Structure 1
Amino acid sequence: MKAFSYGRAQSVTDAAIAANKPGVKFIAGGTNLLDLMKLQVETPSTLVDINRLPLGKIEETSEGGLRIGALVRNTDLAADPRVRQHYGVLSRALLAGASAQLRNKATTAGNLLQRTRCYYFYDVTKPCNKRVPGSGCSALAGFNRIHAILGGSEACIATHPSDMAVAMRALDAKVETIDHEGRARTIPIADFHRLPGRTPQIESALGTGEIVTAVTLPPPPPGTQVYRKVRDRASYAFALVSVAAIVDSVRGRIRSARLAFGGLAPKPWRVTAAEQSLANAVAGVNSFDAAADAVLQGAHGVGSNDFKIPLTRRTLHAVLGEITRI
């Protein structure tokens, strides 16, 4: 680990001003950042501790939703009675991620902003456009079992690792930010994470000197909420395919559906056409296949991850069958 200086932000404004300076990284839980620093993937000149900022509350909104502070720990968010009762898909997604020890430290904003677990991103001896722009993507011709089948590019096929973000995508969450000049804005989570294109090193919509302050959930949607995660082992593993589903159905007929996927793309993946194909459809193999076809439109493997295409279809069938009792 390279030497760095350390300081504490005394206010949200101080933190945003610090974010506008080169070489600065924030530390809260540190569950991702410290690993990257040890491997010298991240080499900040300054760490700014933001743990004392007043961003650790979960509050009800006037619209009937929840506002989750950027520093709310994953354990606390998953265990909150309001989340468990009204946003079960989020609670289940959080509990499917990492270990209890990591969830005790990991924060809401840190979870959203965590970096990919691509093997080559972590190996500084291998080319990686995300780590060193223009150096190449080792995963394209390498071992790419965990990599993207949707949304990737010739520059990068890494996936986003967050379970929480997939559930928040299904819930239409919004990310609140503030910048170094005190300007606040709200970013729909659909627009928060970026696809790699030719600039895979730019992973979110945050500008220079802009920090996350909270995530807002709208009122809970109708229907049954399920989070299904398929992985190589039963715990402490990232998703090969995950599905966050919210489906409102009555007696075998689907009234509405929301479907978000993890493990498939560089960001939580949601396809409007798939949801529209299920609206007012009779639950069954035909409607499930139509939804899967829409989700997998344009999907392609690059070798070791070819299996994700049929696995996505089977996982979606299982989730929709569980909810609609088919």
Structure 2
Amino acid sequence: MKPVAYVRATTVTEAVAAHGGRPGAYYLGGGTNLVDLMKLGVETPHMLVDIARLPLGTVDELPDGGLRIGATVRNSDLAAHPAVRARYPLLSQALLAGASGQLRNAATTGGNLLQRTRCGYFQDLGKPCNKRVPGSGCGARDGVHRDHAVLGHSPHCIATHPSDMAVALAALAATVTLQGRGGERAVPVTEFYRLPGDRPDRDTVIQPSELITGVLLPAHPAGLPSAYRKARDRASYAFALASVAAVLEVVDGLVRHVGLAFGGLAHVPWRAREAEAHLLGAPPTMENISRAVDAELAAAQPLRDNAFKVGLARNLATDVLSRLADRT
């Protein structure tokens, strides 16, 4: 038996103080990922700070027309929220594409963002993994890596980020709000996650003691075409081999706004800046869409067994974008 201290916080300030940035202190929301990792021995907390009862469980309208999503809002509730379904349908679609109904009823917004990779080498204590034990090596690189990264990986790690929701938030240019001992700050989702480099054990830029308090969505008019599409090995309860989140606004036959992000391809939700640059100001023809997606995926570095992901992502993105263009 390993003793674990437990604190039930009632305010954000109390939670941050209880955590205190101490090694081995963890925030506990729905526990759908953390508890699994504790059972495997991957995570071994000395203290759990229960944040499930913090006043962060609402979705609120902002003065500028955006939304603020509290960190403890359950995934099922967020997917069903009328404002999300009307103005950010790709977010609702992404949430419903993840996990099972039972898990969505427990999982929280903050926990979804912070979930760890599902790489088998990370989850197996008998295998080398730089993300779990820095300096131990990456067993997946020369091992089983069909499901692993083709973009942004390093010699130290080829794992992928598992969240569907985070991919939609990247395409929507959402912002994560944090509170720690040093006060509050806001970080764009696209800057919240880290590529592996030589420190794959650090998934995000979050600092010791910092707690995710919410997510800010910029204003989007109802009816703005958007979609989330996910390719996986089975119809449900499977992580993405490749996924695409896209928002497209066309005015007078030209692309005025586009947000495009890939999931299942990288250590982070991959915002497709190169593709977006090619599409902005251009007519959304199939030729232009294909050229833009190809420009983004030209940076891919597939490994021995996962080159199929590049073609899969290309087909998903071109189909999603062309369908959104047709809707405009």
Offset of residue 2 of structure 1: 3.8
- In structure 1, C-alpha distance between the alignment counterparts of 2:44 and 2:239, rounded to whole Å: 25
- In structure 2, C-alpha distance between the alignment counterparts of 1:70 and 1:160, rounded to whole Å: 19
SS at match of 1:249: strand
Offset of residue 223 of structure 1: 3.2
Offset of residue 14 of structure 1: 1.8
SS at match of 1:242: strand
Offset of residue 251 of structure 1: 8.0
The reply on whether 1:149 has 2:153 as its aligned counterpart is no
Query: Is contact 1:249-1:324 (8 Å) kept?
Result: yes
Query: Is contact 1:68-1:216 (8 Å) kept?
Result: yes
Query: Is contact 1:128-1:137 (8 Å) kept?
Result: yes
- In structure 2, C-alpha distance between the alignment counterparts of 1:113 and 1:277, rounded to whole Å: 31
- In structure 2, C-alpha distance between the alignment counterparts of 1:235 and 1:323, rounded to whole Å: 24
- Who is 2:62 aligned against? 61
Q: Which 5+ residue runs of structure 2 have no aligned equivalent?
A: none
TM-score of the two chains, using structure 1 as the length reference = 0.96
The reply on whether 1:118 has 2:119 as its aligned counterpart is yes
- In structure 2, C-alpha distance between the alignment counterparts of 1:285 and 1:87, rounded to whole Å: 24
- Who is 2:9 aligned against? 9
Offset of residue 177 of structure 1: 0.8
Offset of residue 324 of structure 1: 2.2
Please show how residues 40-189 of structure 1 align to structure 2 within 5 Å. 40-181=41-182, 183-189=183-189
Offset of residue 47 of structure 1: 1.4
- Who is 2:220 aligned against? 220
Offset of residue 129 of structure 1: 0.3
Query: Percent identity over the alignment?
Result: 54
- In structure 1, C-alpha distance between the alignment counterparts of 2:224 and 2:254, rounded to whole Å: 12
RMSD: 1.6
SS at match of 2:140: helix
Query: Is contact 1:223-1:249 (8 Å) kept?
Result: no
Moved more, 276-285 or 209-218: 276-285
- In structure 1, C-alpha distance between the alignment counterparts of 2:253 and 2:228, rounded to whole Å: 20
- Who is 2:206 aligned against? 206
- In structure 2, C-alpha distance between the alignment counterparts of 1:37 and 1:115, rounded to whole Å: 12
Please show how residues 221-260 of structure 1 align to structure 2 within 5 Å. 223-249=224-250, 253-260=254-261
Offset of residue 306 of structure 1: 1.1
- In structure 2, C-alpha distance between the alignment counterparts of 1:251 and 1:118, rounded to whole Å: 45
- In structure 2, C-alpha distance between the alignment counterparts of 1:214 and 1:256, rounded to whole Å: 25
CA offsets 1:51-73 (integer angstroms, 9 cap, x no match):
11111111111111001111000
The reply on whether 1:279 has 2:289 as its aligned counterpart is no
- Who is 2:194 aligned against? 194
SS at match of 1:256: strand
- In structure 1, C-alpha distance between the alignment counterparts of 2:298 and 2:257, rounded to whole Å: 21
Flag the 1:252–1:229 CA change in 2: closer, same or farther, 3 A.
Answer: farther
SS at match of 2:141: helix
- Who is 1:38 aligned against? 39
Offset of residue 320 of structure 1: 1.6
- In structure 2, C-alpha distance between the alignment counterparts of 1:255 and 1:26, rounded to whole Å: 41
SS at match of 2:271: coil
**Count of aligned pairs between the two proteins:** 325
Offset of residue 50 of structure 1: 1.0
Moved more, 313-322 or 125-134: 313-322
CA offsets 1:180-220 (integer angstroms, 9 cap, x no match):
24x11111111101111000111111111111111111101
Query: Is contact 1:252-1:282 (8 Å) kept?
Result: yes
Offset of residue 254 of structure 1: 3.5
